[in-house]
Structure 1
Amino acid sequence: MNSLPSSADVIAAHDAALASAPVSAEANDVTGWIAVNHFHNRSLWAQEDLARRTQAPDADIVANKRAIDRHNQARNDAIERIDEFLLSALGLVDPATIGTALPVSTVAPGARLNSETAGSMLDRISILGLKIAAMREQTQRTDVDDAHRQACGERLQRLVQQRADLGACYDELLADARAGRAYFKVYRQFKMYNDPRLNPALVAERK
């Protein structure tokens, strides 16, 4: 993938990662952060499944919930880093402010602000990749009837279409941003519940 990866690049990387065991990724460029985001989405998916067990000890479910928090924070951090790299490549952010809480946009007059960032779109594409893989497994089960497999096959087709549609929207946003017609910003998530200084329950615990 280059500094401005296409949706086809990203989807191929996501699907290739899902074909093997999950491996924690390292990141120093946009490709790496896309892989990090996908890894944490994949880990979240597994923990969400485990957290819904009804016969597991409470301590196991607590551990799942805490893992979900960690992976969700890391997933959101990766989205912000993806946006930073893409905006830098597009020349749409002041380099001196890129790592600050409020990065300053540098945009052409008349460019429209896209409400969703490119990083958020890639995050949604990652999640759709997980849904597609999981739904495809349902179509291949031998312990269910034909009706189940058929229903899941129809859902699979819709999920594939949804990912293609979102990918096309992502590509269009990058094309418009390159041409000066559109831009997006780095939006800091400021997840307060994970910050012991900001979560009132955690502040109360310390007192």
Structure 2
Amino acid sequence: MPEITLPSSAEVIAAHDAALASAPVAVEATDVHGWVAVNHFHNRSLWAQEDLARRTQAPDAEIVANKRAIDRHNQARNDAIERIDEFLLSALGLVDPATLASALPRSTVSPGARLNSETAGSMLDRISILGLKIQAMREQTLRSDVDDAHRQSCGERLQRLIQQRADLGGCFDELLADSRAGRAYFKVYRQFKMYNDPRLNPALVAESK
């Protein structure tokens, strides 16, 4: 198989961290790197909305708005994961192009290749979330309104989170290397989110009658 340029975990982590250094900006995606950025943007937006939704003194209407924003960003986040997997599988030649946009894309893999239970896109989604956790925990270590014990505890957690992201990045790189070599493969797993679909959510169906 010819050499294929695929994103490494180091490149993805660097892009995630660079994005977190400035205000969130919605992006348009035309390739796998774009979809990685889209996924990260929606994870970042979800994080902010989840914090706001847990307020105890805000008007109910604001919490409802937060919840609906959470649903929108979560749907977009999962859609981005699917697009990432489509691009990666196409680049690796592990999916029938004619079925890529279908509900059940057909894998084209070497005999004996192991199926990875988690997709590469899902791994990048977890790496994105770990980046958000790392940023938030690092901020805790810099607070001046807490005691040393709080900062020390958060510092220890920060180091664990950094290690977890590095570990997961290594697993992502290994999966792509094994997939390229014909030793492993993954699939596009459609999420089929039902709660946002007025045809499938029983409560929304009932409202429409």
TM range (shorter): over 0.9
Q: Deviation string for 1:95-138 (max 9, x for gaps)?
A: 11111111000000000000000000000000000000000000
- How many equivalent residue pairs? 206
Which consecutive unaligned segments of at least 5 residues does structure 1 have?
A: none
Give TM-score scaled by structure 1 length: 0.99
Instruction: Provide the identity percentage.
Output: 89
- Helix, strand or coil for the counterpart of 1:194? coil
Aligned AA (1:38): H
Equivalent of residue 8 in structure 1, options 6, 10, 16: 10
Matched, 1:185 2:168: no
Is the contact made by 1:3 and 1:86 (CA closer than 8 Å) also made in structure 2?
A: no
Question: What is residue 153 of structure 1 aligned with on the other side?
Answer: 155
Matched, 1:49 2:47: no
Question: What is residue 37 of structure 2 aligned with on the other side?
Answer: 35
What is the rounded CA distance, in whole Å, between the counterparts of 1:141 and 1:23 in structure 2? Answer: 26
Q: How does 1:134-153 map to 2 (within 5 A)?
A: 134-153=136-155
Question: What is residue 24 of structure 1 aligned with on the other side?
Answer: 26
Equivalent of residue 116 in structure 2, options 114, 117, 120: 114
Shift of 1:81: 0.1
Q: How does 1:88-99 map to 2 (within 5 A)?
A: 88-99=90-101
Shift of 1:4: 1.0
What is the rounded CA distance, in whole Å, between the counterparts of 1:100 and 1:16 in structure 2? Answer: 34
Question: What is residue 81 of structure 2 aligned with on the other side?
Answer: 79
- Helix, strand or coil for the counterpart of 2:195? helix
What is the rounded CA distance, in whole Å, between the counterparts of 1:3 and 1:62 in structure 2? Answer: 43
Shift of 1:90: 0.2
Shift of 1:197: 0.3
- Helix, strand or coil for the counterpart of 1:193? coil
- Helix, strand or coil for the counterpart of 1:177? helix
Aligned AA (1:75): R
Is the contact made by 1:3 and 1:30 (CA closer than 8 Å) also made in structure 2?
A: no
Question: What is residue 166 of structure 1 aligned with on the other side?
Answer: 168
What is the rounded CA distance, in whole Å, between the counterparts of 2:96 and 2:150 in structure 1? Answer: 52
Q: How does 1:94-105 map to 2 (within 5 A)?
A: 94-105=96-107
- Helix, strand or coil for the counterpart of 1:20? coil
